[in-house]
Amino acid sequence: MAPDRSVSESSMNWSEMSLHLEARASQIAAARNWVAAQALENGVAGDRIPLLKLLASELVTNAVLHGPANGPLTVRVSTSDGQLRVEVDDEGLDPPQLRDPTATEMGGRGMILLARFSTRWSWDRRASGGKTVWFDFPL
């Protein structure tokens, strides 16, 4: 699907792009690569893109794994005050959790990575249902 672009009237330094997908594993790479393209366009240094792609991939993967199968998924990238924000909306209701996986577990480290390498992160319940999980990354 084509991304939507909206520019806030209140601040010329703030812009947002959105990508609408279905919550399917086959969409994770497309979302990750789209976030990387938006980040490059907004001034994130090329050598920091692999880390940003990892964090975006973890967020989208969690939405696919923990939200309703094939449900709507929206990925947004916005910039403000020297930060790039990545947001993922899904229809899941459970909050993200920082886990303490064992050394042999294959998963469970996504939110740990997000907490370690983003400027900040959080989540919000949406009035329309579902949740938004987001993180900030320095430009």
Give the separation between CA 60 and CA 71, rounded to whole angstroms. Answer: 13
Instruction: Specify the pLDDT at position 101.
Output: 64
**Mean pLDDT, residues 129-138 taken together:** 94
Q: Which residue type, as a one-letter code, is found at position 117?
A: F
Residues 6+ apart with CB under 8 A from 13: 79, 80, 81
Domain assignments of the chain as residue spans, ordered by start: 17-138
The band of 111, judged by pLDDT with boundaries at 50, 70 and 90, is: confident
Residue with the larger pLDDT of the pair 32 and 115: 32
Reply yes or no on whether the pLDDT at 92 is more than 70: yes
- The helix (H) or strand (E) run that includes residue 80 is strand 72-80
* Architecture of the structural domain at 17-138: 2-Layer Sandwich (3.30)
The band of 107, judged by pLDDT with boundaries at 50, 70 and 90, is: low
Residue pLDDT, tens place only, 4-35: 433 333 343 456 799 999 999 999 999 999 99
Give the separation between CA 62 and CA 108, rounded to whole angstroms. Answer: 10
Give the separation between CA 34 and CA 25, rounded to whole angstroms. Answer: 15
Collapsing DSSP to helix, strand or coil, 5 comes out as: strand
CB burial class (10 A; 0-12, 13-18, 19+) of residue 46? Answer: exposed
Residue with the larger pLDDT of the pair 111 and 127: 127
The band of 108, judged by pLDDT with boundaries at 50, 70 and 90, is: low
Residue pLDDT, tens place only, 39-63: 999 999 999 999 999 999 999 999 9
